[in-house]
Amino acid sequence: MKYEIFGAEGVSLSFEESTFGEITYIKVKMSTDTPEVPKQFYVEWLECVRENFSFWGPNMGTLRHLAPDWGARTTDARIASGAPVHAVISNENMNRTTIAISDPKIPTRISTGVDEKKAEMRYKVAFFTNPTTPIDSYEATIRIDRRNINYCDALRDATKWWETDCGYESAPVPESARYPMDSLWYSFHQDLDFDEVIKECRLAKLQGLDTVIIDDGWQTTDTGGGYAYCGDWQPIGLPRIAELVENIHGMGLKVILWFSVPFLGKYSDSFEEFKDLTLYSFFDDTVYVLDPRYKKVREYLCAFYTKAVGEWKLDGLKLDFIDSFCLGNDEGKPTHLRDYQSLEDAVEALMEDVKCAISAIDPDVMVEFRQSYIGPAIRKYGNMLRAGDCPCDPMANRRSIIDLRLISGRTAVHSDMLMWSVHDTVESISLQLASVLFSVPQISVRLDRITEEQKKTLSHYLDFWRANREVLLDGTLYASNPGTVYSKAYCEKDGRAVCVNYEDPTVQSHWESFTAVNCTGKSFLYIENCGGKSYKAVNCMGETLCEGVFATDLEKIPVPRGGMVSVK
């Protein structure tokens, strides 16, 4: 394999190659005579196309088919967004080439595309794709895994490499972050009311939810949407917030509170003091993004979170929009007023300050991050990763959850909040619930307004999730056909498994016992390799439909949408 390194004039570049089996490590080095903002450089190489079918990136959505090199598929990463890993996969779910970068903090880009003249795949790994702080030297390692193994295992091994060899051990996860939660975002939006929240929390406890997340609206009485009133973080929308938290604790629930970390609203009292310490503005200049390169900004933000955990006795923080920390028009130009010149270093400093401050108050404090800030560097500070917003969309939720699970190690992966119409069918609702089984479910419907059948469906799925939590959260996850947004997936642990069939109705068992969930749109599942074992099929509300013993090693079992068949 011929590797080449390219960069700007006046910059010294070199690399060292070492190979162990089918894993190659490219150690790159950059140096300049005097410190300067690093110019982009990149390593490039060509590989034969060998059963290449699709590619995988951590924030790619549904765009997973191959592309020509002039329109290459790219994975961008930095501490505040993305993760530096990118995989090319065969049609049989086998790894062809998985690339990971040892440094997840600086801005990088991994690109893959077909050279149509040569029928070869062109790989390109670029460093410093955005300006950072001036330096005179830099080193990083590119890990290239070409083993013929399941792509899920290749991605997991890249994650282990970050944690063990690169020094990015993720934050410990409190047990409370691994139980279902009631989020008030889709159900209440900004229209929060003390008595209504109390009422919802009572129902949430009865429904089997363990934590309530109070979202946007507690800090303002404006319910028009947007973030023009963010920045002061006073409980104006819920003025008795300490009392509210105490009452919710009395029900046996924990409480997490939302903050939009970077946002400074034009109508906040703090605006005049901080408006010049910002990166850029949006929403017609009604919202500004604070610049954490200023110590004053970091101290300002950290004080709010310390107060929330210390004085209001919150059990966790939902720290939103960290991926909005990105350079505006100044292009990283240094100023003596900043104590950091690199935005990525400043984001890390902010997160370190917050972690130290709130963990000193409560070592088990929960911290929720959301796609796209999900990489190994940022996972040192958050212990819950939530799928990006996708209301009423089971396909996007399952895709996001599986993507997160494959590179998140032990960090608790949460679903986007589930919402549905009171007029929707229980079968449709069950597809949403089934699509988030491999995560910690978050529910966001008004529990006093859904139908009894909908409550029964929700209870059935939450009961099933709790009974199988160890397998679902701690088992090894495999997901088929990422190029088509996953046709089925399963988690296995100690001979037990839970399999969710999204498109493919076949279950090829190699487990002692398992449950298969039907989300295919068909009214049956094909079960293989289970001759002599007993089974029981239920509908989406948990009502028994049929049971018996498999007479052969391939049988067609009637299982309606959202239903399950358990085999042992």
Distance CA 37, CA 303 (A): 32
pLDDT at 179: 98
Helices 194-207, 452-467: inter-axial angle, 10-degree rounding: 60
DSSP 282: E
DSSP 322: G
HSE of 393, CA atoms in CB hemisphere, 13 A: 14
Instruction: Give the list of residues 6+ apart from residue 542 with CB closer than 8 angstroms, or none.
Output: 456, 459, 460, 463, 464
pLDDT tens per residue, the chain (568 residues)? 899 999 999 899 999 999 999 999 999 999 999 999 999 999 999 999 989 999 999 987 788 999 999 999 999 999 999 999 999 999 999 999 999 999 999 999 999 999 999 999 999 999 999 988 899 999 999 999 999 999 999 999 999 999 999 999 999 999 999 999 999 999 999 999 999 999 999 999 999 999 999 999 999 999 888 899 999 999 999 999 999 999 999 999 999 999 999 999 999 999 999 999 999 999 999 999 999 999 999 999 999 999 999 999 999 999 999 999 998 766 566 688 899 989 999 999 999 999 999 999 999 999 999 999 999 999 999 999 999 999 999 999 999 999 999 999 999 999 999 999 999 999 999 999 999 999 999 999 999 999 999 999 999 999 999 999 999 999 999 999 998 889 999 999 999 999 999 999 999 999 999 999 999 999 999 999 999 999 999 999 999 999 999 999 999 999 999 999 999 9
Residue with tokens 């060292």: 16
What is the phi/psi pair of residue 298, to 5°? -65, -40
Residue with tokens 């939660």: 181
Q: How far from the centroid of its chain's Cα atoms is residue 553's Cα?
A: 38
HSE of 80, CA atoms in CB hemisphere, 13 A: 23
Q: Are 355 and 171 in contact, with CB atoms under 8 Å apart? A: yes
Nearest of 361, 356, 272, 352 to residue 309 by alpha carbon:
361
Torsion over CA: 543, 534, 497, 530 (sign): negative
What is the phi/psi pair of residue 307, to 5°? -65, -40
Angle at CA of residue 176, ends 172 and 180, nearest 5°: 125
Distance CA 322, CA 373 (A): 7
How far is the first Cα of the chain from the last one, in angstroms, to the nearest whole number?
49
What is the phi/psi pair of residue 20, to 5°? -125, 105
pLDDT at 87: 97
User: What is the helix (H) or strand (E) element at residue 435, kind and residue range?
Assistant: helix 426-435
Residue with tokens 């409550």: 455
Residue with tokens 């046996």: 252
Nearest of 293, 288, 287, 268 to residue 278 by alpha carbon:
288
pLDDT at 63: 85
pLDDT at 334: 67
pLDDT at 329: 64
pLDDT at 131: 87
Distance CA 568, CA 557 (A): 15
Q: Are 127 and 28 in contact, with CB atoms under 8 Å apart? A: yes
Q: Are 30 and 7 in contact, with CB atoms under 8 Å apart? A: yes
Distance CA 122, CA 309 (A): 49
Distance CA 365, CA 317 (A): 8
Nearest of 366, 255, 251, 347 to residue 302 by alpha carbon:
347
